[in-house]
């Protein structure tokens, strides 16, 4: 049993080393606030909050044979500032969108949002479910 466990751990380490993270593109946040997560789940720990229009570096996983490793269709591997994490791909766009903060800067500035406020609004928006119901 110990030999099997050691072999299993060794295989996991070597498989993880075979993949490298490579910069794919720069995308922009398209929602008023968005969260960077520690793991690809909306229930995971939040690392930081970003505003609409903020540039985000998106990475892809490449194997040793230089073929792209499929990660997840919903979540993107990102770097925002000094934070490496995951962001919902629905909150990112290829081009910079016109944001509420840009359209109405005086109104937005008059709200005097602090970092904690932005975090909680981002957290709320992150948990908010959008789309059509499948219930009859």
- Domain boundaries in the chain? 19-127
What residues contact 116, with CB distance under 8 A and at least 6 apart? none
Q: Which pTM value belongs to this model?
A: 0.73
The answer, yes or no, to whether residue 51 has pLDDT greater than 60, is yes
When the candidates are 3.40.50.1360, 3.60.15.10, 2.30.30.40, 3.10.450.50, the CATH number that belongs to 19-127 is 2.30.30.40
Q: Residue 103's pLDDT is what?
A: 86
CA pseudo-torsion sign 64, 67, 72, 74: positive
Which residues does residue 87 pair with via DSSP β-bridges, in sequence order? 76
The answer, yes or no, to whether residue 30 has pLDDT greater than 80, is yes
Listed range (6-10, 19-23, 95-99, 119-123) with the worst mean pLDDT:
6-10
Sorting pLDDT into bands at 50, 70 and 90, what band is 37? very high
């Amino acid at each position: 049993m110990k030999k099997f466990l050691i072999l299993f751990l060794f295989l996991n380490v070597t498989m993880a080393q075979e993949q490298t993270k490579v910069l794919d593109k720069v995308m922009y946040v398209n929602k008023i606030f968005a969260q960077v997560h520690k793991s690809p789940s909306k229930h995971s720990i939040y690392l930081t909050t970003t505003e609409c229009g903020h540039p985000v570096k998106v990475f892809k996983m490449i194997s040793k044979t230089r073929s792209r490793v499929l990660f997840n269709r919903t979540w993107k591997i990102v770097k925002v500032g000094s934070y490496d994490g995951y962001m919902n791909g629905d909150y990112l766009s290829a081009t910079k969108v016109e944001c509420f903060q840009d359209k109405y800067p005086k109104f937005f500035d008059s709200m005097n949002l602090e970092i904690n406020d932005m975090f909680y609004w981002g957290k709320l928006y992150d948990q908010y479910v959008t789309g059509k119901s499948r219930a009859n």
